[in-house]
Structure 1
Amino acid sequence: MPVTFQIIPTTLLQAYKDSFDSSIKENFEALQESELTTSTFSFYTSVSAVFSSKIEGEDIELDSFIKHKRLGAHYQPDYTQKIDDLYGAYQFAAVNKLTPATILKAHALLTKNILHTSQQGKLRKGNMFVITDDGKIEYVAATPDIAATEMQKLYSDTEILLDTELSFAEVLFYAALLHLVFVKIHPFEDGNGRTARLLEKWFIAQKLGAKAWFIQSEKYYYNQHQVYYNNIRKLGLEYPDLDYNKALPFLQMLPQAIAT
């Protein structure tokens, strides 16, 4: 019996499968931990935290952060603290089941130095606009009166997906959709992009195991950040009018990240 979702669109699933390169699974299976990783330091968690933060405009270099985490190099707190927080959220996700409560906890962890404590792990109560650098409205997110309901739908669909047997291609398809739908709801005052990219990888880890944490998707999205943002924009300007039939270019970026 086909699975029925409340918010996750499935119209592109067959087109996605038809375009899927089966060698991507071999690339995934070949992923392994870095020799730089120790009992107290994870190289790939550092890559995830640094590049997800750089997508959001943080001025941090991977080499500096590795020296900070692995060798104890001292920098000004403003240079490392937000990335430290995100690193901690990835560590939390790696040892906790993906649930509505743990998503909120992860958001609270990664926004410790971004939001006031009253907004950490809490859905926003105001309207949300994504603004370009020149002050233009790029996207109007779900209004606060429906954002909580939309998130409940996303939580419900995520639970169904976690309990459903999926092929490798389907796992990547739905992981990227969770990322995209979450970003479009934009449920928090800040930290939405960081949380969405963590959610994507967290879902893969729940379905396929710890190798998911070695995927350098955040680095790929940063290196292709104009394409990344353009593919998100393709769906439309306002939440009620989003067209997920235009999402295929975005959904194909995750397997491309594994292929590189």
Structure 2
Amino acid sequence: MVSGVLAGAAAAVVLVAGGVTGPVAVAADVGGPRVADRPVGGLVESADSGPELRPRPRPVLPDGAGTGTREGTGSAANGTTGASSAALLRPVPLARGGAGVPAGPAGAEDAGTVGTDGSYALRVLSRFSEPGKQDAQAGRWRAFTYDTSLVPSGAGVDVEQRTDGHGTTVTLRVAGLAAGHAFGAHVHTGTCAADPAAAGGHYQNRRDPRQPSKDAAYANDRNEVWLDLRTEDRGAGTAKARHTWNFRPGEARSVVLHGAPGGAGERVACFTVPFRGV
């Protein structure tokens, strides 16, 4: 397994070997003394061992039925309650690319790993920055905040994709956001930029011929990837969406956070994610 994490404002990609249907081992603890650990938006920077990361333990959730299911932390997230995700990320040494940027081409097909059974696993992490203030090395994995009262600069974001013969699961984890706030979140078709509108509309399995899509037959959580969540008292939260369909190549490119849950709302942050399509 190869892992990488953001240093400064740069983002990181963690590659997960093997099939996505089994347990995912993202990183192991690094031995030796720890000196001057400094938490920053859910990430920890360590003076002795450099940037590292480790996901918090999380429960195994049952497979959803139908075309799609979604789950999240907090009472506003689809009626489910999850454990605290304040320990969202913890450090592990960089493995490839300067400042957490993956080595080689940054194309969507290059970021994750393919299992021997054809399954695919991707994990991308970053920290939000205001447009114009982000380190140039963040490159493709940029994360912008458009409302620092809800998504402060330095807040952490972590997106995982798992795709196999049964469909696609997307998991969103955040840390350092406004506490006790209900956010909407969706996979979008464009990449993030200084203009929040650059991320385009919601990715849809069945595309609404009329855009922007307002028809409930298309704009719903079965046809789109909805990742609504409510942050806990330390500003962390998790959401997961499962679908029996997969992304089309090159059409799912970011996750956008909205100021309120549901189908739409003001865009408060955006994270470019190289989702893989089939």
Asked if Structure 1 and Structure 2 have the same fold, meaning a TM-score greater than 0.5 normalized by the shorter chain, the answer is: no
As a proportion of its length, which structure holds more strand?
2
TM-score by length of 2: 0.28
User: Which of the pair has the greater relative contact order for Cα pairs under 8 Å at 6+ separation?
Assistant: 1
